[in-house]
Amino acid sequence: MRNCNKKECKQQNPQNDSEFVKGSNRWCRACRIEYRQKYAKENKQYLKEYRKQHNLKPETKKKKSIISRKLTLLQYGLNEQNYNDLLNKQDFRCKICNKPHSSDKKLVVDHNHTTRKSKRITLQLL
């Protein structure tokens, strides 16, 4: 059991180590959250500019794209392997019109909106 090192801490004896943020050996979770909220409020403009610059980096865009894709597939009960298997089974073509994937239209997961279960991969209709 550890104690919070912040002098003003109202929680001098946390019940267990889960009260401490991972990687932090100084403050309890409540003190750390309070500090971050105060910092964000006081440095709003700086953080806005930082995020703007950070999000322009190509590696950030790529990382966000990968995360977004994984989350999208997860919504439909798929992973990368399942998606690729489904695509191979369809010969890399739209299941509806049988057209191959092109640069102007991307392939998307067709799914049941009630169960969220994936059915096939189709060209995106715009």
Structure confidence at residue 43 (pLDDT): 96
In what helix (H) or strand (E) does residue 111 lie, and over which residues does it extend? strand 107-111
Render pLDDT for 51-67 as a digit per residue (tens, 0 to 9): 888 888 888 888 887 88
Render pLDDT for 20-54 as a digit per residue (tens, 0 to 9): 556 656 777 788 888 899 999 999 999 999 988 88
Look at residue 45 and tell me if it is in a domain.
no
Look at residue 8 and tell me if it is in a domain.
no
State the residue range of the domain holding 101. 77-123
Residues constituting the chain: 126
CA 49, 50, 52, 53 dihedral sign is positive
For residue 87, report the phi and psi dihedrals to the nearest 5 degrees: -65, -45
pTM exceeding 0.95: no
pLDDT beyond 60 at 14: no
Which of the two residues, 61 and 115, has the higher pLDDT score?
A: 61
Look at residue 21 and tell me if it is in a domain.
no
Structure confidence at residue 91 (pLDDT): 84
Which of 105, 82, 85, 108 lies closest to 95 in space, CA to CA?
108
Look at residue 69 and tell me if it is in a domain.
no
Looking at the structure of the chain, the number of domains it has is 1
Max CA distance (Å), the chain: 68
The whole-chain average pLDDT of the chain stands at 77
Between 58-75 and 44-56, two packed helices, what is the crossing angle to 10 degrees?
80
